[in-house]
Structure 1
């Protein structure tokens, strides 16, 4: 008997079905059966299913003789299910990596509940993924499992079958089946939650819910949407058969009102000629199922009998269920008498119009709202035009005023940090007569430390600073910097370009031959920006030669090192300990910073490494700090810490004992710390073809190299990540790429740019030799913990010396 029976109905999803099936069969938890149901699909779904069944014995193909619809197709899959738990997945959706492992672990931790509810994210054709807005209801705090009376907020989630795992014995005991027709999830999910004797939650994205541009059944204009009435008839008939559930009628009545409102107002569902008939049917439906209790908004939910409060409409993100005061469980969300916020006045009005069937009134109010929106839009555009004109006049006037020699403006791509942040601090220390300000877009305002003046792009203060500041410091040569586009710099202004590290992959004009990575870069505009530079920083000779070729201009190159690495020499062991504690890294654990380079050629940035599997293999002595292009989907594995949105990568480097990366220039900065570096490059050929590289990292790597996930695990289990060979490779790498990073880089830049000092004779600090530098020690280097090397599993081959 497998642990999971994954049921996948398929109808006209041949383009998406292979990805769906692969997402199940490649799960790190293999104890499953995949029941793929061909609902007499007219395309090649049946052939795809048979092909997978021929390759993998875990796939059970089911072919229906005629098209029955999503509900009956799921029932057909249920009839063949033999697993402990049943999981549903639509044929155009996918399971996230590690989802079944996380579900299995949570089921075991919560004592085999009847229903486990987990989260999902909507994925779009653009590659964007948006997590469920009501994810706060899935908090795992408090006792588990529980009954729905303890956590009524779960009823505000999207009522679908595929965001839950169901104990098969529970499904059979309650006789749960799917009805035919549209909206078949309604008479399944509500009864499942209401009758479950035990429910648990998993605060993790386990399903990617594909939002197709066209072809969604519910997005088809048809009278089939009238099926929603029959589905709620079935739901209320179920309640009538279960007197012990009668107190839920008011809640489900409100949910029905919200659902009917969505069907009526959502564009593209109802034919125009059927809209009045739909409201008439809604009015009759509401009269039929309305109860006296439903006319009075309930205010609280006793633990066992009274109905829960008004449920938040699905279109509004609900707040977490607050605890009631005066109960024994007041400290737990959803315990005791849990209250839920009621509908907004606008929602109440929409519900009333649907309940009363006022089609003309609904239409008139809709027209009035449309006119109001257009009026507001016109007024907003007019205000924007006037504001833009005034700002242009303001900027021109400011350019007529003298430059402020005591003003310096800084910015960095992605917010406060990097070399500009280090230089801003150095300006305040070594040139205290200069006032500094930081340009940050609104979404990055939280990254700017308090006490630093913040300028928002597009404001009058911002244009004043651009027009009058004597120093402009930026780290992005491309047009996505907050300082670009800008008018030509004024005479006397000094523009300092810091770049974003050592160029290991192609950049600048070399991207003309790499359209997948260039992503529509305007190279003429790029060169216009280069023409405004006075200085450009360089970390090493390789950077100097590369940047001067791919960013040709008349600027002066300052080959001084990277200012952001100064903190690696000034930080103490106590600073490292405080940073680790703030991140949640145990004192004796080995902290692995996983920071891969973004894949510019990919629309969707997905991790190339199953971090949860790696952690399970390495054991509790390791912690992974994951800094990826996008935050991880609610990591559930112990020891996996998502630092994707951490504002300071330098702090993460100090806290880490080893860096795992691929082609990111961060490896050069991390080498300044003289700590182990491991390269993980599973897609070397693809990266070389799409982005290209300047440095042969595989011939002269900064440490151990792994080409697969198993090799990476072996690097750590066998201790190759910090053996003598790794130290030799790192020493050669530091000598080549870190000749100037001795802790005083920012000071040299300020003395050169502000005071004109050019050499040691004029006051520039000498560079400390590489052998005499003492960067901040790592925790692993101090402790040399026995946990740092994990016993090698039997039968697991070691990475050879050639790796």
Structure 2
């Protein structure tokens, strides 16, 4: 084993210890053993975190793992990378990182010690205040260590800090921990495990916690050998910790590998789970004060043994009966009186208690047959249901059209809103004799206003409405299943002003087109009677890329009418509902979809932006969420609004828009509030999607090419200065000529009422959209620079 800042055989490390000529760690810890604390040399500051990364046959993932640590915005760390005698290139990768960054300490073990032994080797060399374990194929999320440092300071340096994780799959999908609710930061902190025993429902692994090194050293904790080494570490640590805190934030991306993961390897090593629980109960035997945890640990042990036994990819063929016999012995050995179990798990406990291998297999077979029969029955019912609905729809098309009925829908059957929502509201106001219906999924039913009939997609009522309503309004390319009847009128509103290529132009852009069926798309275009357009640019684009026999109604954007009808009280109410602090400047961050990326992640470090701008700014983030659950970097000044059903309301609540290529910039310009473009990847976006013009050449406001430029624009007040106002005025003149608050009225009068003399367009200089909350408070609230460093010093790294 060799250690230090350089490759193998390099100079002694900062703690003053020379390379171990004897070959490094040669003894694996067999249980809780006293740790070894190195004695750092004088003048060598101790890091805040010691991040310990064991590596064994993870060469494909190790670079990303180590980079995720070294690129953290909180740099006060040491990275101890342990090559567990890996037969691949892990050792070389570690040496490369150690050669380029003095914070990396390379440790090479002379023989394979297993995950536990490798972690112990890293722990023995750690000098940081807190230990953070990270497996070699996982990664830290951006700003994770900064969030840890802040939370540790807030909670008074607890012994253990438990944080959240998300499973990330090879497909790019991310799923947050299902037990995330246990990590709530509400209530007293720090606490002991007896105050919040539900914390044991969080995955019992070492890498979702930060441990105070002195606490670990004093208690003598160490990892045992074998599989499931986390079990006799995490339970004793949590049970003995005098102070525990939680951080409700995803700090680790837990990679779910298709192949190669230890727990997905078929081996007799899975029998190690019995020894690990023996160690846990031996720990309890030596500490009578912890006896109250025995029933809980017994239940967790049985659940764990059943999980290992039930997974098909763990135990070798023919070894399941032997495993269940061992489980029966452990059940009887560690059974605790009064350890009640729920009815749901009672069967598993009974089978484990008596070792009923054949009975268990018979029950599994019966359950599989039952599930198969249920799936077949559901499939038959779906087929019969679809057949019945097709016949129903065919019969309804034979009945007369109803001239007083209109059906509205938006792409994806989301809630009431967008241009269709604005047209529906205007129709009820101008033509009260018309009856309207909205096609909406059940989860969005609450957005449908009173007086509008809600239709579940695919229901008999939905097909009846499609067959007999004289008017149909949608922003989707096509209405699925629609057979358009003679006399039906379909109004197409589209979903935004085109900047990136749309329609037939995507034939040249396979990355953006994806699996688009262009023949089906054109069949949908042939059903359009009217297309609502916002401006001349949109009209010329839609008529070329969506060729059809429809009539273009260049009347403006109906959804932006609310910008002119809302009041200052409405804006205040919206801001309060979103949790925007009074007196702060709210920035709406709305990035466009990146066709060239498999996973959609924010291109901005939002926490850094608000931290540098000061407490006077908050960000409303419409960025796509990287995993199921709240935005990873969400805080009290970065508000995740990605699930908000009404983008117009978010525009009204904000004071400025930060975007790149999103069509929301065209809507927002009509609101006459500042817009800042953040275009750090224009070449990649244009190459993948294509664009009708370069927004940098005709911007609606200030333009930033990197994050520091963006921060500087807001810190110096350029975002709302005279030049930005002039650019926005020119942009509005070109792209918002009809957005005066009466666009929906013009469409309704033209299509439903048949009028040709429509309300005239209000000139731009006479329009009065509702002002932002900051603008209403006076110009000084917009231009005030936070009391921080001068703009020229904004690149100085903030270590928190």
Q: TM-score, normalised by structure 2?
A: 0.91
Higher mean C-alpha deviation, range 695-704 or range 556-565: 695-704
Structure 2 match to 1:680: 678
Equivalent pair of 1:718/1:790 in contact (CA under 8 Å):
no
Structure 2 match to 1:777: 771
Equivalent pair of 2:614/2:787 in contact (CA under 8 Å):
no
Structure 2 match to 1:172: 217
> Secondary structure in 2 aligned to 1:755?
coil
| In 1: Cα distance, 2:787 partner to 2:189 partner | 35
Structure 1 match to 2:354: 356
| In 2: Cα distance, 1:445 partner to 1:594 partner | 27
Aligned-pair CA distance for 1:781: 1.2
CA offsets, 1:317-349, max 9 Å, x none? xxxxxxxxxxxxxxxxxxxxxxxxx53x23221
Structure 1 match to 2:272: 227
Instruction: Tell whether 2:214 aligns with 1:160.
Output: no
Structure 1 match to 2:43: none
Structure 2 match to 1:373: 371
Instruction: Tell whether 2:536 aligns with 1:544.
Output: no
Structure 1 match to 2:127: 82
Equivalent pair of 1:715/1:798 in contact (CA under 8 Å):
no
Higher mean C-alpha deviation, range 347-356 or range 357-366: 347-356
Aligned mate of 2:250, from 205, 220, 224:
205
Cα pair distance change 1:170/1:458, threshold 3 Å? same
Aligned-pair CA distance for 1:487: 3.5
Structure 1 match to 2:708: 710
Equivalent pair of 2:716/2:791 in contact (CA under 8 Å):
no
| In 2: Cα distance, 1:632 partner to 1:684 partner | 28
Instruction: Tell whether 2:731 aligns with 1:733.
Output: yes
CA offsets, 1:720-759, max 9 Å, x none? 101111011101000000000000000000111112223x
Aligned mate of 2:330, from 282, 285, 296:
285
> Secondary structure in 2 aligned to 1:272?
coil
Cα pair distance change 1:677/1:168, threshold 3 Å? same
Structure 1 match to 2:296: 251
| In 1: Cα distance, 2:225 partner to 2:667 partner | 60
Equivalent pair of 1:573/1:776 in contact (CA under 8 Å):
yes
Aligned-pair CA distance for 1:272: 2.5
Map 1:323-472 to 2 at 5 A: 343=342, 345-414=343-412, 415-416=414-415, 417-472=417-472
Structure 1 match to 2:565: 570
Structure 2: stretches of 5+ with no match in the other structure: 1-45, 796-800
Equivalent pair of 2:715/2:791 in contact (CA under 8 Å):
no
CA offsets, 1:461-506, max 9 Å, x none? 11111111111111121x6xxx32x243000001111001110111
Higher mean C-alpha deviation, range 785-794 or range 274-283: 785-794
> Secondary structure in 2 aligned to 1:566?
helix
Aligned-pair CA distance for 1:446: 4.3
| In 1: Cα distance, 2:261 partner to 2:456 partner | 41
CA offsets, 1:590-647, max 9 Å, x none? 0100011111222211111111111110111011111112265354433111111111
Aligned mate of 2:606, from 589, 602, 611:
611
Cα pair distance change 1:795/1:453, threshold 3 Å? closer
| In 1: Cα distance, 2:64 partner to 2:366 partner | 45
Cα pair distance change 1:179/1:460, threshold 3 Å? same
Structure 2 match to 1:663: 661
| In 1: Cα distance, 2:764 partner to 2:710 partner | 30
| In 2: Cα distance, 1:709 partner to 1:608 partner | 9
Aligned mate of 2:486, from 465, 473, 491:
491
Aligned-pair CA distance for 1:512: 1.3
Structure 2 match to 1:339: none
CA offsets, 1:419-456, max 9 Å, x none? 01101101111121111111112344344345432111
Structure 2 match to 1:793: 789
Aligned-pair CA distance for 1:544: 0.6
Structure 2 match to 1:182: 227
Equivalent pair of 2:774/2:781 in contact (CA under 8 Å):
no
Q: TM-score, normalised by structure 1?
A: 0.91
Equivalent pair of 1:588/1:785 in contact (CA under 8 Å):
no
Higher mean C-alpha deviation, range 636-645 or range 395-404: 636-645
Structure 1 match to 2:161: 116
Equivalent pair of 1:676/1:727 in contact (CA under 8 Å):
yes
Aligned residues: 743
CA offsets, 1:264-292, max 9 Å, x none? 11221112200000000100111122233
| In 1: Cα distance, 2:634 partner to 2:128 partner | 24
Aligned-pair CA distance for 1:797: 6.0
Aligned-pair CA distance for 1:132: 0.8
> Secondary structure in 2 aligned to 1:292?
coil
| In 2: Cα distance, 1:65 partner to 1:697 partner | 58
Equivalent pair of 1:116/1:164 in contact (CA under 8 Å):
yes
Structure 1: stretches of 5+ with no match in the other structure: 298-341
| In 1: Cα distance, 2:557 partner to 2:605 partner | 32
Structure 2 match to 1:49: 94
CA offsets, 1:371-425, max 9 Å, x none? 1112212221221121111111101100000111111111112512210110110
Equivalent pair of 1:718/1:792 in contact (CA under 8 Å):
no
| In 2: Cα distance, 1:411 partner to 1:421 partner | 8
Aligned-pair CA distance for 1:293: 4.1
Structure 2 match to 1:315: none
Equivalent pair of 2:702/2:724 in contact (CA under 8 Å):
yes
Higher mean C-alpha deviation, range 251-260 or range 124-133: 124-133
Structure 2 match to 1:588: 583
| In 2: Cα distance, 1:231 partner to 1:792 partner | 53
Equivalent pair of 1:419/1:564 in contact (CA under 8 Å):
yes
